[in-house]
Amino acid sequence: MPSRVEGKIALVMGGGQTPGETVGNGRATALLLAREGARVVVVDRDLGSAQATVGLITEERGEAFALAADATDEAAVSTVIAETVRRYGRLDILHNNIGASIALGDAVALDMTEAAYDRSFAVNLKTAWLAAKYAIPVMREHGGGSIVNISSLAAIQAYPLVGYRTMKAAVIALTENLAAAHAPDNIRVNTILPGLMNTPMAIENRVAQGTPREEVIAGRDKQIPLGKKMGTGWDVAYAALFLHSEEAGFITGISLRVDGGQWISHR
């Protein structure tokens, strides 16, 4: 079977990760796209983290390079797209993985500060819009492409923190808007809604707040019907690989839950 994204140019926004004991969604996706034949541009605000992802790719004889950028800054995002085109001549895949909740000061509505709300908007929603704004003209010029935005199951469940739920719900709306607008350009736009995942972003902040790691993991595992265990970054990565591949060539505007049955069991 030929590699599923062979020869594609892929840009993974948020392709590094916060430190932790497991692999994050962005890093896993960057690695998997490279394994399946894509040349990968790994972008992260932390250049060292992006370079670490690139190092893992090159160890496996894949091709990748790292860029540092503040994805909430329009000029920085424009530069990332321009540098990708300068190196490779086109862009086929955009993967928007940037997001955070607790680390941004997220809280229930009555306790959240204006500054934290603004940070949540910038990180969880604005980043996806900005990347698409500059990627879509390049994709259109070269005959099409695939965009996957990472939302969250929190967007459709009773997640208590207002910033993350609000912005990740808006990512779904953004996805549908872009999918409808750019279907005639042969640009597919989809979103993934991860459920409870054993990733550094999900686990490390809770541990840092004082809950023992084993308790955090056990409390999350027991909420998952399928195998009674959280998913991993690889589960999200394989869903993304499918959506970015030609196997999903007639799929656009969908919200794909990757949650081990959590939503259907607890709604």
Residue 1: is its pLDDT beyond 70?
Answer: no
Domain at 9-195+232-260, CATH homologous superfamily: NAD(P)-binding Rossmann-like Domain (3.40.50.720)
- Average pLDDT of every residue of the chain: 96
Average pLDDT over residues 192-221: 92
pLDDT digits (tens, 9 = 90+) for 221-258: 999 999 999 999 999 999 999 999 999 999 999 999 99
Q: Is the pLDDT of residue 46 over 60?
A: yes
Structure tokens at 104: 């941004």
Rounded to the nearest 5°, which phi and psi values hold at 186? Answer: 65, 35
In 3D, which of 49, 48, 29 has the Cα closest to residue 40? 29
Task: Give me the amino acid identity at 27.
Answer: R
End-to-end Cα separation, the chain, in angstroms: 39
Catalytic sites, residue numbers: 164
Residue-wise over 219-236: b if at least 16 C-beta within 10 A, else e? ebeeebeeeeebbbbbbb
Q: How confident is the model at residue 194 (pLDDT cuts 50, 70, 90)?
A: very high
**Domain layout of the chain by residue ranges:** 9-195+232-260
**Residues 264 and 258 sit within 8 Å (Cβ to Cβ):** no
pLDDT, one tens digit per residue, over 84-108 is: 999 999 999 999 999 999 889 999 9
Q: What is the pTM of this model?
A: 0.96
Q: Which residues, including other chains, have CB under 8 Å from residue 251's CB and lie 6 or more apart?
A: 188, 190, 243
Query: Predicted confidence band at 129 (pLDDT cuts at 50, 70, 90)?
Result: very high
The first and second tokens of residue 119, run together, are: 């940070």
